[in-house]
Structure 1
Amino acid sequence: MYSKNFLKSLFTAGISIAGISFSALISSQQKVHAYSGNPCAAEGSTASEGAMSADCDGTPEVMKVKFFEFGLCTSDPLTSSTFSRANCEKAWESEAGITVDIPACMSTDGCTLQGEVIRPANGTYSHVYLIANTHWDIKGRVYYNNETYYTTSVDKAESAFYNYSTPTNNVNNYETYTNKMTSMGGSGWGANGCFDWSESIDGQTPKAVLTNNLLVTATNQAECTASTKLIGSSDLATPITITSKTRNYQLTWDVTYKGLWVDHDAGNDPDGIGAGPFSVDLTVSE
């Protein structure tokens, strides 16, 4: 269960020599590679009139993530639990980090980020990586039992190191929740698997690890709990080639029925709401 509460989020980023713009492209690649989980009931649907019986993926209204770095790689930078840039090129970075509200960027013409844009060396790249913080602000709602259930700012701790938002059906308590990533649910979740996550999604394999500020991967639960950075990587469905003519490249994600993970343990309604996982594709243009 712990591995589900990571990030099924996908958004669209366009990077050019002028800066970075997070835009809302709905490309054929995105439709092909979108995550196919269990979508939560839509508002007003027949399913929303009935009881909740399984975990589902919803669409967040707010999903704020602070990003520090984005890069392209010729091989997987997370072949083990250790992150390596040896075969990577930075494409953008911000030492202080830039916070992006992904749903807001997708519903407008995009979001322009400040920071240092770095042109990657010419070549063919098969992987991408992102470095983000471990505290994600989320806000969203789901529909079951002819009710609407909202996120609150109240923690629902399932264990000493795993938590998510306590849902409410009172709209007056609808609030943003800060989801702290402390257990990724690796090959053996818990104290020995808290630091890593990997999942096969539509032929791609996104991965992530929890690290400290020096990007050293956590090795136990205490270090996972104290982690400050999350590094995610993914192979691309189709490798991209950067040439001297390349002027723009776009990283395509989507949070629709992905970015909000809704937990069901028992009963008829949601037990908790947290941030969901990711899948990535990239295109370039001249």
Structure 2
Amino acid sequence: MAAATNVSPGAASPTCDTSSPFTSGGDCTVTPSSYKVTIYEMGLCKSHPYGTAKTDEEFDASSCVVTYRDAAPTTVDVATILTGGSISMPGASSAPTEGSYGYPYIIMGSTFVTSAVHTNSVDTYYSKSDCTVTTTEADFGECTDSLTQFGNGGGGGTDCDSGYVGAVVSGGTIDAFVTNTSLSRSQKTNGASSGVCIKSGRLVGVMNVPTPVTVTANTISVVFNFVLTNYGAQFYENDGGGNTVADETGSGPFSGYFVVTEAD
């Protein structure tokens, strides 16, 4: 019996408003100044690698093909492309086997490094290296988030919800799973320590596309595009009580989509 469990997304966070203060007790998303990740692998699957119910503990690669792999990736700043820059990806790319694939996937490190700036009707706010927020530009820094749990660590901090499924993104929905380096997920009961899933270190994102990705003899590339504009970083107002000044910042919801390019 599958013992891994998932949580479902709530309402999507709004984009931070430039014409009004932060919302008391709320959060909002912005375009990040930097968004640094490590990418280990990308590929395509014919069936969901964590099963139809998405609760399997092990990644089933039997229906999958790998299109990109890097066993020891360096951290890349995806936000570079927002300003016209490029990203060097030194891993090995390979042509996928012809066929139809409904579940593209990406495997990343579970640590995200982001920075962000937001100006609203009150002031300009900057992320700090400790993931708090300042209005002093000289203190602007990058915040490091390590994703180790999707639930609240219930049961005295020993329960693990290692999956987050059904988030709506461009081109379908995306599921995210906290795993270890073998892509194995923690069990729900006693699967965490102090609220952190025991099996962690990787984040597996699996797209669910309504129209399967079709690879033919003319396919020349399968590319994953991160969605960052108005999305890759967040500001949080945690004090409540009518306070409208952000207290914390961090990476926004993980999102993206795959694009298949065919030769003319």
- Give the TM interval when normalised to the shorter protein: 0.7 to 0.9
* Other-structure match for 1:105: 81
How many Å separate the matches in 1 of 2:85 and 2:30? 23
Query: In 2, are the aligned partners of 1:52 and 1:144 still within 8 Å (CA)?
Result: no
How many Å separate the matches in 1 of 2:96 and 2:150? 30
What is the CA distance between 1:251 and its match in structure 2? 2.7
How many Å separate the matches in 2 of 1:186 and 1:126? 31
Paired residues, number = 240
1:149-185 Cα deviation digits (max 9, x unpaired): 211111xxxxxxxxxx111111111011111112223
* Other-structure match for 1:247: 220
What is the CA distance between 1:86 and its match in structure 2? 1.6
What's the Cα RMSD here? 2.7
SS at match of 1:247: strand
Q: Which amino acid aligns with 1:283?
A: V
SS at match of 1:172: helix
Q: Which amino acid aligns with 1:125?
A: Y
SS at match of 1:104: helix
Query: In 1, are the aligned partners of 2:177 and 2:204 still within 8 Å (CA)?
Result: yes
Which deviates more from structure 2 when the two are superposed, residues 142-151 or residues 66-75? Answer: 142-151
How many Å separate the matches in 1 of 2:161 and 2:247? 22
User: TM-score scaled to structure 2, two decimals?
Assistant: 0.81
Q: Go from structure 1 to structure 2 and tell me whether the alpha carbon gap of 1:232 and 1:183 turns closer, same or farther (over 3 Å shift).
A: same
Q: Go from structure 1 to structure 2 and tell me whether the alpha carbon gap of 1:141 and 1:244 turns closer, same or farther (over 3 Å shift).
A: same
Q: Go from structure 1 to structure 2 and tell me whether the alpha carbon gap of 1:281 and 1:119 turns closer, same or farther (over 3 Å shift).
A: closer
Residue 73 (structure 1) aligned with residue 40 (structure 2): no
Query: In 2, are the aligned partners of 1:132 and 1:230 still within 8 Å (CA)?
Result: yes
How many Å separate the matches in 2 of 1:81 and 1:151? 37
Q: Which amino acid aligns with 1:52?
A: T
What is the CA distance between 1:187 and its match in structure 2? 11
Q: Which amino acid aligns with 1:139?
A: S
Q: Go from structure 1 to structure 2 and tell me whether the alpha carbon gap of 1:206 and 1:188 turns closer, same or farther (over 3 Å shift).
A: farther
How many Å separate the matches in 1 of 2:236 and 2:56? 27
User: TM-score scaled to structure 1, two decimals?
Assistant: 0.75
* Other-structure match for 2:147: 181
Q: Which runs of 5+ in 2 are unaligned?
A: 1-6
What is the CA distance between 1:191 and its match in structure 2? 4.2
1:107-141 Cα deviation digits (max 9, x unpaired): 32532311111211110111111111111111112
1:175-204 Cα deviation digits (max 9, x unpaired): 111111122238989643442212331573
How many Å separate the matches in 1 of 2:32 and 2:172? 23
Query: In 1, are the aligned partners of 2:113 and 2:144 still within 8 Å (CA)?
Result: yes
* Other-structure match for 1:159: none
